[in-house]
């Protein structure tokens, strides 16, 4: 497994959930692929256009147990656990990253609310 690719995608993922990017439609536009869509933890689907026009939820989140699986040379699935301190909820997340026009872009994202707690899922 390409450790540097994993680290790079984790950095992108962390920037995607960070308030600096979430507050800036320009920065969000750079990360999200044109065909991007999301299935939110609410069960609603969102397109890139909706995320840019309506904005995204601004919460304080942290990533744990970040893993990637290379699906093709230009496609990677990432999975991880999020603790959302603002909403006091945890989610299990998955993202599909595609290498498009010389950079990794977020193509798909899904979050599922879980009752699991961080101490239950942390890997040694």
Express each pLDDT in 61-77 by its tens digit: 899 999 999 999 999 99
Domain spans, the chain? 3-121
Residue 97: enclosing H or E segment and its boundaries? strand 89-100
What's residue 27's pLDDT? Answer: 87
Express each pLDDT in 42-51 by its tens digit: 889 999 998 8
Q: Which residues pair with 39 in a beta bridge?
A: 45, 110
Q: Give, in order, the Cα–Cα distances in Å from 89 to each of 26, 92, 114, 122.
A: 28, 10, 8, 16
Residue 12 contacts residue 1 (beta carbons within 8 Å):
no
pLDDT class for 58, splitting at 50, 70, 90?
low
How much is the pTM? 0.88
A 10 A CB-CB count for 49 gives: 12
Q: Is 3-121 CATH 3.10.450.50?
A: yes
Q: 99 is written with which tokens?
A: 């290498």
- Say how many CA atoms lie within 13 Å of 124 toward its Cβ: 0
């Amino acid at each position: 497994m390409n450790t540097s690719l994993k680290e790079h995608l984790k950095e992108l993922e962390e920037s995607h959930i960070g308030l600096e990017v979430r507050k800036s439609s320009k920065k969000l536009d750079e990360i999200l692929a044109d065909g991007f869509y999301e299935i939110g933890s609410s069960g609603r689907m969102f397109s890139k256009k909706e995320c840019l026009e309506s904005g995204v939820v601004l919460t304080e989140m942290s990533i744990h147990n970040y893993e990637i699986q290379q699906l093709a040379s230009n496609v990677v699935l990432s999975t991880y656990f999020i603790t959302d301190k603002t909403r006091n909820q945890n989610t299990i997340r998955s993202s599909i990253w595609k290498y498009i026009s010389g950079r990794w872009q977020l193509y798909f994202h899904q979050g599922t609310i879980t009752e699991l707690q961080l101490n239950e899922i942390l890997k040694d």
